[in-house]
Every structure is written in structure tokens, then in C-alpha cells.
Amino acid sequence: MKKTSTRLADGRELIYYDLRDDTVRTAADRRPLDRTVTTSEIRRDVLLGDSVAIASHRQGRTYHPPADECPLCPTRGERLSEIPDSSYDVVVFENRFPSLAGDSGRCEVVCFTSDHDASFADLTGEQARLVLDAWTDRTSELSHLPSVEQVFCFENRGEEIGVTLGHPHGQIYAYPFTTPRTALMLRSIAAHKEATGGENLFDAVLRRETADRRVVLEGEHWVAFVPYAAHWPYEVHLYPKRRVPDLLALDEAARTEFPQVYLELLRRFDRIFAAGDGGRGAADEPRTPYIAAWHQAPFGALEEFDGVTRDDFALHLELFTIRRTSGKLKFLAGSESGMNVFINDVPPERAAERLREVASS
């Protein structure tokens, strides 16, 4: 992997990650952009104990542009974009309309490929490995920023999810606090550790989950399963078999196997509904909308979590779709949005069975 860092016309950082070591990146951003001005602010909710990012400048962000005006495609001739060069493998750059900025953290965009019509599932193993290396490198770099306490790499795919740019891409949020979801896990780890005399909760969960009939696929170094208490109709958790706190701690064997396992998992997600979903799907069903989210240990202090260390946390990826069957979405209505109590219409055992059924030949 070759890494080349440069600056866009408004001062934002852009980084090329290339498969070839002899690739030269010298193209300049020719757009007449003013310096980016953001109004991001973090406000604390004292009743719920969580935080909200107020970012009014995001109202003006690019919204469903036509394909020939996509800002994530390479620059071609006089069609100027966020990426100055005429081609790329993987690119990461500071978001022009960030939810977090300055002392409130940082937001970055990760473009997985220059092919506008592709999806992550279409990448080769070599390309997917390059994305993993980019995620890892950004996690390392962002963790050293004084305002950053947790790094979150994720992908939103599909208009149903709320994606406004169709180009295959993800994002990285560097939060100035430990997120509520992670804090819940850390408190559960602490309680289990105390109740069992030191047993790691993630180890216990992984033993239970992989012993049941909800395993979707398994490699030598990774295992994917539908969790016992899945919140979403089709939800899969992907774990390295050796517990590590973050992407930085993955060994070479796990990195090498990751593309094979993850790409197969994504391709199965695309086949769930197109293949029929129990006879109700359609051959022309659009690609499955999903969210893919990496859970990593925070880099900030953990004193409030009663003896929990970063090494007690287990890196894992959560992949889920809001589609519950062909042509129907799972909406977060009163119970989910108002009380944070999920109601799942698809039994996790059936979801796992379905994902096994659509395995490639």
C-alpha cells in the first residue's frame, strides 16, 4: 500500500491509498473553493446522559446529484470533483459538511473505488484489503488527535438508509467522547467481570453464539452469526476469533482472510431478497440497503467503567438491513424511537437460515 497525503483547494486533507507503490499523485484541486466554515457543536443531554451534535451547516450538503455530477468520482477533464486525480484505488478526505469538526472531533469520507456503479460487494479481495488497511491507518492517525476519544468506521448503503450520494463510499467519525452504545457495552463488561470473578463478557458471548444454529459463515480467523437478541430483521455480527480491541491489533492472518469472509457476507445480503425471501422476493429486487459498523474500543480514559481496560473490548463489525421482506422496510416507530425497545419481525434463527441458504455455489 502506498499512502499520499495532499490538500484540497479549501484546505481539507485528502489521502490516496494505492495498490501500486509506484503510483504518483500530483494532481491539484482546480476548484475555486473558499475555506470550509463549520458550526458543529456538541451539546450534552443531562437527562439521558448522552450527547448531540448540532451541525446546521449540513443543510446545504450535496443531495442526490446526477451521476455525471457525482463529487466522489475522479476529476475528468473540466468535470471537477472532490478527488483531483483522474483515477484512484481508495481515497479518504475530510468531509466538506462534517457533523463533527475542530474540538468536536472530525468526519472523513472513504471512497472504496472510482467505479460509480459498483458496490463494496463488487470489489476484488485485493481492493477490499486496501479498504481495511485504510480504515486501520485512519484509526491510528485519528486516535492521536487530542480531541478524539473514539473512532467509528462505517458504511451506509441505499437511499432507504438515507444515503444522498450513490457512489460506493463510507465514513469515519472521530468522536470527542465515548459513544452511548459503546458505554453500554463497557458497563456490561464491567458487571460481568465482577459477577464471574474476571471472565470476559465478549468471550462468553462468542462461545454461546457460535455454539448455536445462528452461525452464518465461518473461516479460520473470523466468524459471522445472527445474534440471539438481534434488533434488526437481518443482522449479522462479524468477529475475529482472537479477541482484539481495534483494527490496529488485527494480525496478518486475520487481515488476509477478512476480504474473503466479508465480501461473501455482503454478497449474501444482496441475495436475501433477490433470491426470493421464502418465495416472496423478486428477481429485480434492488440491492439490499444496509449499515455496516465497526465497533472499536475507545482511546480515552476508562476509569468510570470499574476496572475495564481496552483489552477487555472485542473488535467486531455489525451489519444489518432495515428491509424486513421484499418491498417492505422496518421502521423505527413508537417503541423503538420513543423507548429504544426494538421489536423484530424476523426470528434470528430464520434470518441465519436464510443467509446460509443464499450461499454462493
pLDDT tens digit sequence for 231-251? 999 999 999 999 999 999 999
pLDDT tens digit sequence for 140-161? 999 999 999 999 999 999 999 9
Label residue 360 by pLDDT band (50, 70, 90).
low
Q: What is the pLDDT of residue 39?
A: 76
Inform me whether the pLDDT recorded for 216 exceeds 60: yes
Q: What is the pLDDT of residue 281?
A: 44
CA distances in angstroms from 227 to 74, 103, 339, 347, listed in the order given: 39, 36, 21, 10
Beta strands in 267-355 (DSSP E): 290-295, 316-321, 323-325, 328-329
Are 316 and 292 spatial neighbours (Cβ–Cβ below 8 Å)?
A: no
Averaged pLDDT, 264-293? 77
pLDDT tens digit sequence for 93-134? 999 999 999 889 999 999 999 999 999 999 999 999 999 999
HSE-CB for 247 with a 13 A CA cutoff:
24
Q: What burial class does residue 101 get, using C-beta atoms within 10 Å of its C-beta: 0-12 exposed, 13-18 middle, 19+ buried?
A: buried
> CB within 8 A of 18, min separation 6: which ones?
1, 2, 3, 4, 25, 88, 89, 90
Label residue 279 by pLDDT band (50, 70, 90).
very low
Q: Annotated catalytic sites, by residue? A: 169
Q: Which helix (H) or strand (E) holds 126?
A: helix 125-143
SS3 88: coil
Nearest to 245 by CA among 283, 296, 201: 296
